[in-house]
Amino acid sequence: MRALVVEDDARIAADLSRALGAAGFLVEGCNNGEDAWFRGGTENYDLIVLDLGLPGLDGLSVLKRWRGEGCDSPVLILTARGAWTERVEGIDAGADDYLPKPFRMEELVARARALVRRSGGRGAATQSIGTLSIDLNRMTVARDGVPVHLTPLEFRLIAYLALNQSRIIAPSELLEHLYGDDGSREANALEAIVARMRRKLGAGVIGTRRGFGYFLEQPE
């Protein structure tokens, strides 16, 4: 799962990156509105955390532009304490959730996860597919009740497939959500990870449709 953090306060930005990184997100940061507008409009994020108080182009304008241009990533806005009008304007402009500053990082992470689950059409923190159980909060996977050890990268892959169960995911899209905009990764890197995961999870879990991509196999 890929997240964009837009925050001009370097300390808060670092805390956010650390907390979301520990929660399994691949985090990219940016500290001004112009940059944020460009990235949100050209890249695909599973979550965007947007501070409204930005220098130059403010967060609310960025959000309006994204929504106007068809960017439909879930957006959590960070607002100034007590500024209820800002929250209302933010939600009206298309924010999915908000947190007033200062906030507890635990709460931000919980809301971030909930947003990602809801945008995948799945409210529950634990997804069961056949004998596989994926806990999106604890970032654990069990097969027939037995925990399976996955690396953070492997977990991101299985979580992304679980959150997008209704469709087949193209390799390019999966790579983007695993590695971000580092364009050097190739499809055979993905094939290697999938092969490794099939060994860990069993052969009938991750399906391939040649020429289209990957999906989670649904039990009969």
Residues interacting with Ca ion, by CB under 5 A? Answer: 8, 51, 53
Q: Would you say 101 or 118 has its CB closer to Ca ion?
A: 101
Q: Would you say 46 or 51 has its CB closer to Ca ion?
A: 51
Least CB distance from residue 45 to Ca ion, whole Å?
Answer: 19
Q: Is the peptide bond before 219 cis (omega within 30 degrees of 0)?
A: no
- The rounded distance, in Å, linking the Cα atoms of 190 and 192 is 5
Taking CA atoms, 147 is separated from 26, 113, 118, 126, 135, in Å, by 23, 21, 25, 14, 11
Residue 137 is given by DSSP the state T
Q: Would you say 58 or 217 has its CB closer to Ca ion?
A: 58
Task: Tell me the torsion sign for CA atoms 49, 178, 118, 105.
Answer: negative
Q: Would you say 11 or 209 has its CB closer to Ca ion?
A: 11
Q: Would you say 26 or 54 has its CB closer to Ca ion?
A: 54
Least CB distance from residue 92 to Ca ion, whole Å?
Answer: 20
- The rounded distance, in Å, linking the Cα atoms of 149 and 141 is 7
Angle in degrees, CA 185, 187, 191, rounded to 5: 115
Least CB distance from residue 22 to Ca ion, whole Å?
Answer: 23
Amino acid (1-letter code) at residue 123: G
Which residues, at least 6 apart from 131, have a Cβ–Cβ distance to it below 8 Å? 143, 144, 202, 219
Least CB distance from residue 55 to Ca ion, whole Å?
Answer: 8
Least CB distance from residue 132 to Ca ion, whole Å?
Answer: 41
C-beta nearest to Ca ion: residue: 53
